[in-house]
Structure 1
Amino acid sequence: MKGVLLVNLGSPESPTAKDVKPYLDEFLMDKYVIDVPFLLRAFLVRGLILRKRPEKSAAAYAKVWWDEGSPLVVLSKRMFEKVKPLANVPMALSMRYGNPNIYSGLKELADKGVTEVLLFPLYPHHAMSSTVTVLEKAEEVRKEHFPNMKFSSIPAFYNKPDYIKNLSDSIQKHLKDYDYDHLLFSYHGLPERHIRKTDVTKSHCKIDGSCCNTPSPAHEFCYRHQCYETTKLVVKALGIPEGKYSQTFQSRLAGDKWLEPYTDVEVNKMPEKGIKNLAVVTPAFVADCLETLEEIAMEANHQFKEHGGENFLAIPCLNDDEEWCKTVGNWINDWAEKK
């Protein structure tokens, strides 16, 4: 029997330092997130970062926490509940970090008699620290607990027509009554070395002005190319003129060179360029979370206005949008019907 495991990033159990610390430990000790040798990673994470970061992160989570819990988990569950009746096969929901974990999701499917699982990472764009770590963790759990299960996975859907239509329609709906000067596409950032590591050609990704626009097998796994492609397709679908939109990368950490331009830097410059009414969309995420609700809707909003901006619109993620849920259900059924 076939079944599907939807997987999103995850969240701490509560917005307290006590619960944030083990969550950050699991997240940052992932070799696909901080991709350095184990002993160095342990020193950085457990010797340095976890000394102060849990309190700071807990304060940020507390700003966005809902009565029902973590927005990311709540919204993922809402989406799951809408997709479930549309799918012709059993489904389960897991988080890569925290709960419900991947083991519990696979066990739920196994208990229903599922032997063939479609792993569905809820990330439009391929990256080591999102897609790859989900697939690797699921395989690790499968080998240990469900050796007779078979896996397949959904490829990155950054350019799928249905996804682009859902994203474009959502953006258009929220811009309908907002007279914006500029639309900013803000994607989650990555260290540049992650882009080079996922380059299957080992030579194409130079992260210059041309490689993302030059056809290459590397694009199948290139996060940067896929982000630019999503922007290009949405801009075309909405007919946004050149000069009225731009693309940036957010959430960088100190130390390494991360993908540029940086969201916070660019947002702060916009008012002096005459941009007084800004709209921001975050297509790297399908569910609103700390990075969209606190980093963009609160912090970027505040900084924009501090630098002379007047109006700021944070466009919600697709979340449990009806048409998006139908799209996910259709993709699942297309897979389930294949022999």
Structure 2
Amino acid sequence: MLEINVILISFFLCLIINYILLKKNFLIDKKFFPHKSFVSKNLVPISGGLIFTISALSFLQFENNFSYVIFLIFFVGILSDLNTLKSPYKRFFLQISAVLALVFLNKIFISSIRIPFFDHLLTFELFKYFFVVFCLLILINGSNFIDGVNTLLIGYFLSVILIILILVNNYNLNFETQNLKIIFSVLLTLFVFNFFEKFFCGDGGSYAISLIVGYYLILLSNLDLIISPYFIACLLWYPAYECLFSMIRKKIKKYQITSPDNRHLHQLLFIFFTKKMKFNSWVISSLTGILINTYNLIIFYIALVNVSQTKILVTIIILNVIFYNSIYFILKNKIR
């Protein structure tokens, strides 16, 4: 019953907030974000993060001031969406501050990655902080990178949460899932609006959504020895690798690493489909996101079946990276 109420309230928030923003011509994507205008020439509210954060903070029951951390990371993102926080270095510093606050207040750490030497390093307090902050920053920024076509970001985390809920149910794990069900309900509502390009998530949305999901994945990874840490890595491989690959690609091309560009995998797919299909751009954008997420959902299911098999899970990650690179360079050559 609670989930139905969440869906209804999120639905009306989408209608009301988008109407107000369009009416006031506020928080509208126009010229600041070439990766969004790349797939759409329409004036679209960057309201996904605002709607998600209001819904999340209204329904979710957090401990240890986690709500304040979520608001802080959203606030950093919304300043970026408003083009008020222009400096990527200031933005990165504020991201670090928010993530450090989360780790410090909640004492969440990654306890093991099943490599003895690395696990020994994780026994040192400073390294524990560094590693978990590094992982969450990669997730946050990688999630922001994949928020370039409709449904991709929201659909990705819908898939991740769905797999977590199935895992907890199948193995009867002692893991509280009420908050995850609420997040799933909010994202499901947002997915519908995002499919029809009624809003973009923006930096505020990608930061808040990924940080919350990342937090629960760390809790899950430390819950039971049956869960290999590489199962968690499988669930997050795409935004993480997108972030790392983009940094390497820009470094090789001698571009500024912090500068936005239109050469991500989902954007190359969008260009390819645009040349092959005679649909509106928003339809192609949404279908691009759904295609990538369908692939990832299949990967997630295979990982779920092998949740404790570290060698198989590592192999899955390696094959994903090889497949990503292959598709990327094939598309790159085709759309020159």
Classify the TM-score, shorter chain: under 0.3
The higher relative CO (CA closer than 8 Å, separation ≥ 6) is in 2
> TM-score if structure 2 supplies the norm length?
0.25
Q: Which has the higher strand share?
A: 1
